[in-house]
Amino acid sequence: MGCALSAPASPAEDYGSLSLWHATADDDWAPRAALDGDLDVDVAVVGAGLTGLWTAHYLAEADPALRIAVLEAEVAGYGASGRNGGWCSALFPASPGMLAALPRADGQPHGREGALAQHAAMRASIDEVARAAAGEGIEAQLAKGGTITLARGPAQLARARAEVAHARAWGRDEDDLRLLDRAGAEEVVRADGTVGATYTPDCAALHPARLVRGLARAVERRGVRVLERTPVTAIAPGRCTTPHGVVRADVVVRATEGYTPRLPGHERDVVPVYSLVIATEPLPDAAWDEIGLARRETLTDHRHLIVYGQRTADGRLVFGGRGAPYHLGSAVRPGHDRDPRVHARLLATLHELFPVLGRGAGVRVTHAWGGPLGIPRDWCASVGLDRASGLAWAGGYVGDGVATTNLAGRTLRDLVLGHDTDLTGLPWVGHRSPRWEPEPLRWLGINAGLRATTLADAEESLTGRASLVARAVAPLLG
């Protein structure tokens, strides 16, 4: 989730304008020193996002004698780690069935036990993020209120029931995921058109930029060098090439997520897909009395195209979603961070969910932003270390990275130190996703899929409205 591959382009005073989180991180965003010549270290980490910084943190904690450098093209927290939706959840992009089918080192599938171990590790990672942040004195405004996923209409309710049935088939009980009726859902959040919901306790809302910036300071206190404005132009066994010098290292960790396609040889490893976000002004208590989310539960629904929201510590509603197009050639540019049409649709969806926000002059949106996330061809995140080359990696989180980066950091610690642990035996360790198709095939395929998803949601919405009207009119027709 770091950006270590682009040429530095933003002056220091602009970093705070990237998102609500950047503007309220209680940080001046002044860049740290860049690399000033060749450097020899034990571990070089490419990317100062959460993946890279958690890796550095756990390595430095485990072995203070290690020489560790983190290389970042912009500043720590510039990329997805500093501008996401602020969900620290147990969500993992690959299904339990896929994880169970992944091979172990002996060639046999990990099976049900492996898939459940991966889920348990994800659940535990939420509490580990909270523990580690508190231990380092990082005020990330974290509140573990869980996630409510609304069902708004018959099709969404059917998906909610199917999700719970699938969870039960994998041994996940009511303490993990449960189905709510309309009344139960409205005890948590009162959204228009709700007919039910699912709820999991396994999510914490937090301030992502405060977390990543605090973590950068924490690793520096442990002796890690964080070198900003230092773009990496090539990675090879034992070395990272930058415009300012070569960093030689026994282990090189690639932690670049959505920026990975800029790296020679990795152009088709993941595709950068943009997720866009808006933030309202702080809402009055009367509005929150109508909306709910009293424990700062995170919010989504069972539509096909992902949306996500949270109530911030200062009483705003942050709401984001997919819908921005994939850009030809895996292009990642600052100009793609904002799309007025997508931001307008997000606001319209908020008004649809919570009519109180549209009353009178309507709620004011104070910040609108976006950024790229990394999607592997099989939608399965992975982490690993090739011992022969010393090249390590983690990523492909598909937007579910805040907790997964922490699990990646602890797993990379164990891999680099040569420890055989429960973490290094999880199914995602060592997995290699297939590469994406060359252009223009991937541009055509990804955007066609996006369009189909959008149309499916629109059709369900119209069908749902028609069904509601039919039920209302039926008594009048006898």
Q: What is the pLDDT of residues 366-420, one digit of tens each?
A: 999 999 999 999 999 999 999 999 999 999 999 999 999 999 999 999 999 999 9
pLDDT at position 168 over 90 = yes
**Is the torsion defined by CA of 164, 167, 173, 175 positive or negative?**
negative
Residue of higher predicted confidence among 105 and 251: 251
pLDDT at 470 over 50: no
Q: What percent of the chain has pLDDT over 70?
A: 94
Q: Kindly tell me if the per-residue pLDDT of 25 is higher than 50.
A: yes
Tell which residue, 346, 208, 370, has the closest CA to residue 274: 370
Mean model confidence pLDDT for the chain:
93
How sure is the predictor about 475, in pLDDT bands with cuts at 50, 70 and 90?
very low
CB burial string 459-472: b at 16+ within 10 A, e below: ebbeebeeeeeeee
pLDDT in tens, 54-107: 999 999 999 999 999 999 999 999 999 999 999 999 999 999 999 999 999 999
Residue 4 pLDDT level (bands cut at 50, 70, 90): low
**CA 239, CA 247: separation in Å to the nearest integer?**
5
How wide is the angle at C-alpha 23 spanned by C-alphas 19 and 28, nearest 5°?
130
Position 293 confidence tier, pLDDT thresholds 50, 70, 90: very high
The per-residue pLDDT for 462 is: 61
- Tens digit of each residue's pLDDT (9 = 90 or more) over 95-119: 999 999 999 999 999 999 999 999 9
**pLDDT band of 465, cuts 50, 70, 90:** very low
Mean pLDDT (whole number) for 121-129: 98
The pLDDT assigned to 322 comes to: 82
pLDDT tens digits, 344-361: 999 999 999 999 999 877
Closest CA to 405 of 139, 16, 114, 133: 133
DSSP code per residue over 366-428: EEEEEEEEEEETTS--EEEEETTTTEEEEE--TT--HHHHHHHHHHHHHHHHT---TGGGSTT
Lowest-confidence region among 40-44, 193-197, 359-363: 359-363
Per-residue pLDDT band at 467 (split at 50, 70, 90): very low
Contact 160, 151 (CB under 8 A): yes
- Give exposure, 330-367, as e/b (b: 16+ Cβ within 10 Å): bebeeebbebeebbebbbebbbebbebbeeeeebebeb
298: β partners: 147
